[in-house]
């Protein structure tokens, strides 16, 4: 007698969710049917909407992720909102287990005066805009979402980017890079048109610690030194190492390579280039200044105190700017019906097993940023997903999970609700439409940024 397959739903079609589907589909211990569900019409999550479009080698990871969605025991359910189209309880009633992989959809704040002013935005919002995310390019402004005010970018001459991670570098690079150098990317046409209008001459990157503590990858950092028409401005005094910084450099090869780059740039003669990229180490913002919009940022010099914490020195200055982008981290948000720790911004768990009401929930698991927090690189999600799936398989062996549900039960539930998910074939039609659009005006591909465009491209001509 053929064993009935276990029906596993994965909420989230980004890297963490697809890696979980991969681990499930590759194992041979038990038969499975995996439903990868996403609220967006397209898969790939932050690979599509978080990796800068001019980093095509990283974005190409989606080709590998797509191969998992093409496996016969994996299905993609796009444009399905868990929490509104279906409640979590309803989903759990139709499958044998659920893996939450919906990431960290919010962002941290600076908590300083003036942060509410027009001209201050979060890096995830800016990144989503230049990557063509439909949440930031809405058809109708509703559900508490608002269209990013592009005029704030168009009219800025100077920008301050707060943060010293790769996202901050992406933001700084897109702001300072000429639009002509971005035309070979898959940016949406309207994004390129806006970037062609930008007037930014100065971008200031603030780090509250010294150069030894940056989270930049050297490859991405090196790109900045190769941008034409841009002088990189660094105060050599900021590169002098205190004992704690020296200890970091001695043990961390990436930090040492980054420091060498900073020193090389600081020693370069200024060329009088039309644009400047400034690195301000040992500097933190303390207030955003302006009446009706951002006019400047007040910053304070910092130091490490005797307890090893960063503290202000009281030495302050003003940086004129019309745009402030905070890149200080993503944060998880609660999904109705799922346990959530507001203190950590994560789903409580142990080795991927969700903890509900103080004990393990028999059919709930978690992976990715909503499990461990917004840390690591894309590849980190793979080992994270393997840990979670290992826990799930162990629970199957221990008979904590039984295959009670028919693989078609979820389809019937969605049909009863009048919900028509987009499958992988629909994604392939969107993919082809983006390629056709790009090639129609001399580009390899152009992202469709609006939901109605995606849904129109997804339609099956045979069903019309």
Same domain, 245 and 349: no
- CATH number, domain containing residue 26: 3.40.50.720
Higher pLDDT, 393 or 375: 393
Summary mean pLDDT of the chain: 94
The per-residue pLDDT for 1 is 43
Per DSSP (E only), the strands in 271-376 are 275-280, 283-289, 296-304, 310-320, 323-326, 330-331, 349-350, 353-356, 359-366
Residues 28 and 139 placed together within one structural domain of the fold: no
Is residue 227 domain-shared with residue 189, that is, in the same domain?
yes
Q: Which residue has the higher pLDDT, 139 or 292?
A: 292
Assigned domain for 65 exists = yes
pLDDT band with cut points at 50, 70 and 90 for residue 385: very high
Domain count, the chain: 2
Q: Which of 328, 356, 388 is a domain's end point?
A: 328
**Residues 145-198: pLDDT tens digits?**
456 788 889 899 999 999 999 999 999 999 999 999 999 999 999 999 999 999
Mean pLDDT is lowest, of 78-87, 102-111, 125-134, for: 102-111
119 and 258 together in one domain = yes
Domain assignment present for residue 464? The answer is no
Asked if residue 282 belongs to a domain, the reply is yes
* Residue 320 and residue 204 in one domain: yes
Look at residue 231 and tell me if it is in a domain. yes
Task: Write down the pLDDT at residue 147.
Answer: 65
| CA distance linking residue 407 with residue 402, whole number of Å | 13
pLDDT at res. 140: 60
Q: Is the pLDDT of residue 2 over 70?
A: no
Please report the pLDDT score of residue 375 as a whole number.
87
**Is the pLDDT assigned to residue 144 strictly greater than 50?**
no
Q: What is the pLDDT of residue 452?
A: 95
Domain CATH code at residue 148: 3.50.50.60
**With 70 as the cut, is the pLDDT of residue 414 above it?**
yes
Please tell me the least confidently modeled range out of 19-23, 145-149, 212-216.
145-149
The model's pLDDT over 38-77, given as tens digits with 9 standing for 90+, comes to: 999 999 999 999 999 999 888 899 999 999 999 999 999 9
Does 298 share its domain with 416? Answer: no
321 shares its domain with 186: yes
Strand 310-320 to 296-304 pairing: antiparallel
For residues 380-385, give the mean pLDDT: 95
What's the Cα-to-Cα distance from 223 to each of 185, 231, 297, 307, rounded to whole Å?
16, 13, 27, 36
Single out the residue of 19, 89, 72 nearest to residue 389, CA to CA: 19
Could you report the per-residue pLDDT of 286-322, keeping only the tens digit for each?
999 999 999 999 999 999 888 888 999 999 999 999 9
| pLDDT per residue as tens digits for the range 387-410 | 999 999 999 999 999 899 999 999
Full domain range(s) for residue 97: 6-105+331-422
* Domain contains 145: yes
- Report pLDDT for 418: 95
Same domain for 193 and 131: yes
User: For a pLDDT cut of 70, what percent of the chain falls above it?
Assistant: 98
Which of the listed residues 293, 328, 363 is the one where a domain comes to its end?
328
Q: Would 159 be classed as within a structural domain?
A: yes
Tell me the two tokens of residue 166: 């790769």
Has residue 249 got a pLDDT over 70?
A: yes
Nearest to 329 by CA among 127, 62, 114: 127
* Residue 413 and residue 295 share a domain: no
Give percent above pLDDT 90 in the chain.
86
Tell whether 132 and 185 lie within a shared domain: yes
pLDDT value at position 445?
95
Residues 123 and 223 in one domain: yes
Helix (H), strand (E), coil (C) string for 396-459: HHCCCCCCCCCCCHHHHHHHHCCCCCECHHHHHHHHHHHHHHHHHCCCCCCCCCCHHHHHHHHC
Q: How far apart, in whole angstroms, are the C-alpha atoms of residue 309 and residue 306? A: 7
Tell me what the mean pLDDT of segment 69-86 comes to: 97
Mean pLDDT across 315-339: 95
Task: State the number of CA atoms in the 13 A half-sphere of 98 facing the CB.
Answer: 23
Q: Indicate if 257 and 295 belong to the same structural domain.
A: yes
- Look at residue 292 and tell me if it is in a domain: yes
Nearest to 288 by CA among 251, 325, 255: 325
> What is the pLDDT at residue 463?
72
Residue finishing a domain among 328, 344, 360: 328
| Band of pLDDT at residue 464, cut at 50, 70 and 90 | low
Bridging pattern class, strands 330-331 and 353-356: unpaired
**pLDDT tens profile 257-277:** 999 999 999 999 999 999 999
Evaluate if residue 370 carries a pLDDT over 60: yes
């Amino acid at each position: 007698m053929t064993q009935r397959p276990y029906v596993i739903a994965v909420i989230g079609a980004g890297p963490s969710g697809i890696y979980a589907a991969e681990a499930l589909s590759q194992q041979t211990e038990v038969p499975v049917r995996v439903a990868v569900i996403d609220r967006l019409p397209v898969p790939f999550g932050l690979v599509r909407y978080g990796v800068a479009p001019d980093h095509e080698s990283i974005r190409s990871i989606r080709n590998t992720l797509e191969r998992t969605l093409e496996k016969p025991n994996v299905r993609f359910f796009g444009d399905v909102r868990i929490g509104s189209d279906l409640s979590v309880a309803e989903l759990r009633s139709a499958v044998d287990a659920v893996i939450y992989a919906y990431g960290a959809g919010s962002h941290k704040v600076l908590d300083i005066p003036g942060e509410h002013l027009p001209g201050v935005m979060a890096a995830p919002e800016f990144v989503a805009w230049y990557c063509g995310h439909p949440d930031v390019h809405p058809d109708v402004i509703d559900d508490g979402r608002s269209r990013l005010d592009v005029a704030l970018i168009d009219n800025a001459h100077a920008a301050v980017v707060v943060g010293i991670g790769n996202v901050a570098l992406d933001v700084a690079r897109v702001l300072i890079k000429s639009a002509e150098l971005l035309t070979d990317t898959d940016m949406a046409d309207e994004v390129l048109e806006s970037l062609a209008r930008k007037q930014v001459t100065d971008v200031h990157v603030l780090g509250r610690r010294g150069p030894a503590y940056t989270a930049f990858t050297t490859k991405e950092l090196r790109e900045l030194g190769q941008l034409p028409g841009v002088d990189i401005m660094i105060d050599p005094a900021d590169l002098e190492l205190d004992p704690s910084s020296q200890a970091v450099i001695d043990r961390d090869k990436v930090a040492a390579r980054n420091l060498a780059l900073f020193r090389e740039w600081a020693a370069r003669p200024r060329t009088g280039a039309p644009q400047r990229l400034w690195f301000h180490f040992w500097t933190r913002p303390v207030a955003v200044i302006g009446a009706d919009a951002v006019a400047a940022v007040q910053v304070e010099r910092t130091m490490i105190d005797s307890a090893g914490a960063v503290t202000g020195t009281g030495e302050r200055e003003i940086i004129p700017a019309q745009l402030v982008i905070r890149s200080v981290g993503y944060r998880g948000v609660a999904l109705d019906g799922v346990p959530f720790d507001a203190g950590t911004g994560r789903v409580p768990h142990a080795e991927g097993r969700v903890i509900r009401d103080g004990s393990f929930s028999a059919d709930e698991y978690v992976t990715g940023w909503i499990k461990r927090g917004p840390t690591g690189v894309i590849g980190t999600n793979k080992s994270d997903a393997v840990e979670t799936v290992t826990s799930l398989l162990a629970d199957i062996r221990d008979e904590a999970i039984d295959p009670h549900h028919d693989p078609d039960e979820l389809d019937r539930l969605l049909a009863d609700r009048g919900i028509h998910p987009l499958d992988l074939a629909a994604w392939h039609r969107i993919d082809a439409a983006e390629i056709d659009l790009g090639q129609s005006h001399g580009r390899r591909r152009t992202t469709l940024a609006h939901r109605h465009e995606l849904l129109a491209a997804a339609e099956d001509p045979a069903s019309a």
